[in-house]
Chain A
């Protein structure tokens, strides 16, 4: 079961797997021809996972799996762009390493974030954006910036 859980990277993956489990369960109680039709609607990767489960030994296993999947903690990552497959993979892996194996990523697209990301997990909130760093820099070096502008010294390097 842990392997299945590890394969879920995002909340989209999670929701799809939960839907597929429901379809798979339904398929167990219909005749062969209809079963194949249902299997065709299930994601290939998910179907392979579900077919590998031994339903005879533990009839409750699908229920347990669904509960386990729905109990995963969500780490919300707000970014300003649509993430690529590579980004999803690396962020999901980073989240698992830092927040534990029972976590799943939810990408939240927020165009107001210029560059960087905002992370929230179990109600905790942390913004790692360039905007914040710039603001902080300006706050700390206000005097220096004004003096530099007055003297006309040109570009101000970030410290």
Chain B
């Protein structure tokens, strides 16, 4: 109330609530109001100016308070700003709560900023390690990339982004998770994952619930992006997860329809593309003063009703991101994790961050998987298979099994490459799948636990620029390189520390 009186005196303007229409409030007065300016009500509630009319100012409610007709309204002279300081790290906040955190170390930052221009942008050159074999090898992501995570409900999208968050934190990134209009249950799941994996101090959760005012939900991703931008200016790499933008679009549609804006396709307002594109443009890889770079990687999530890829918001988001990972419910129900359909997924800038060897491996693996997919369709006609076809199918099966991974287990890129080369060198083509899986597990655990083994694997990969050459090396010296004893499955350690 004291703050309200102060604002009235500072601006010398007052408004009166004339109509309340769900989360839109019509206010008379406030002659110098500006679009997007924050106003406060005498009850202490907060709103944002949504539109200016000849008779009334339209205000979008950001608080849960009930506003009576005739209440006084004061301008603040400011757009929606959040208070950013180091204390935000490790916290779970809602957008309006950030405004209320107030101390001397706090910088107030406008959440609706324009994206930085081309002069501040640099090429995406570093790979974002997701810790997932399939993504890191075949659909790589770069630091600063905007990759849409798209799929129907219950197809493992949130599991994927949480896994990526875990891996990103272990690579030194700070994660900002925007939970947009989520159920309380879902927010608790996200928070318990963060706590369970002990990454709380490197994560900020910006959350709004499904019962929060639509205006507050609308501001959630902007708040998350603003926090990321602030960290970027300190030279820190961040990962922003937006869960999810289809819900965000629905809340914006609700507000726009209530404000009697002309509805467009699927009743979404005409500026929905602009609203999301402006948000996406705030991510990227940026050059800071002194020539250093800092990135904001963005993983927006989009839900697909009934697996239909051609939805309005979904295709909009595809158009404004650098690729998409398509999660398939059928793959998920088959028990494969992550349930990414590689044939419908795209990564536009991720490949440029891969080494020559990885790029080569990526091309060969994609070619193999496409070939296997084609063969599987052909097999349905009951045709007899040649030995080569059988071998290709077996290799495809092994690669697919290898890509099937427990969520939460981070695997290094080098060991993925090492094992995949062995797979394509037919090291496991003639053995039982259980034995193959067992041996692959042994190699992975050895790589993680035995320093010498790791050094040798890394040195072998460093010696090869071509994946074909690596496969040839495996073909000629596979047993020796892998150091496995088939009968006993005991690992041989070379005393001289050299594999070849």
Contacts and interface: CB of A to CB of B under 8 A. Distances in A.
A148 B198 CA distance: 59
Contacts of B11: 125
B29 interface: yes
A126 B11 CA distance: 10
Interface string B1-26: 00000001101111100000000000
Contacts of A122: 29, 31
Interface string A84-122: 000000000000000000000000000000000000101
A123 interface: yes
Nearest to A132: B9
Contacts, number: 25
A123 B9 contact: no
Dominant secondary structure at the B interface: mixed
Contacts of B12: 124-126
Contacts of B31: 122-124
B28 interface: yes
A39 to B, nearest CB: 33
A124 B13 contact: yes
Nearest to B27: A123
Among A120, A124, A125, A126, the one with the most B-chain Cβ atoms within 10 Å of its Cβ is A125
Contacts of B13: 123-125
A125 B28 CA distance: 13
A27 interface: no
Contacts of A38: none
B9 A120 contact: no
B350 to A, nearest CB: 53
B30 interface: yes
Q: How large is the interface on B (under 10, 10 to 19, 20 to 34, 35 or more residues)?
A: 10 to 19
Among B11, B29, B30, the one with the most A-chain Cβ atoms within 10 Å of its Cβ is B29
A127 B8 contact: yes
Contacts of A132: 9
Contacts of B30: 123
Contacts of A127: 8-9
Contacts of A124: 12-14, 31
A125 B11 CA distance: 8
Nearest to B33: A123
A117 to B, nearest CB: 14
Nearest to B7: A125
A118 B78 CA distance: 24
Contacts of A123: 13-15, 28-31
Instruction: Pick the 9 closest A-B CB pairs, nearest first.
Output: A123-B29, A125-B14, A123-B31, A120-B14, A123-B30, A123-B13, A125-B8, A125-B12, A125-B13
18 contacts: A120-B29, A123-B14, A123-B28, A123-B29, A123-B31, A124-B12, A124-B13, A124-B14, A124-B31, A125-B8, A125-B11, A125-B12, A125-B13, A125-B14, A126-B12, A127-B8, A127-B9, A132-B9
Given A124-B13, A125-B9, 13 more contacts: A122-B29, A122-B31, A123-B13, A123-B14, A123-B28, A123-B31, A124-B12, A124-B31, A125-B11, A125-B12, A125-B14, A127-B8, A132-B9
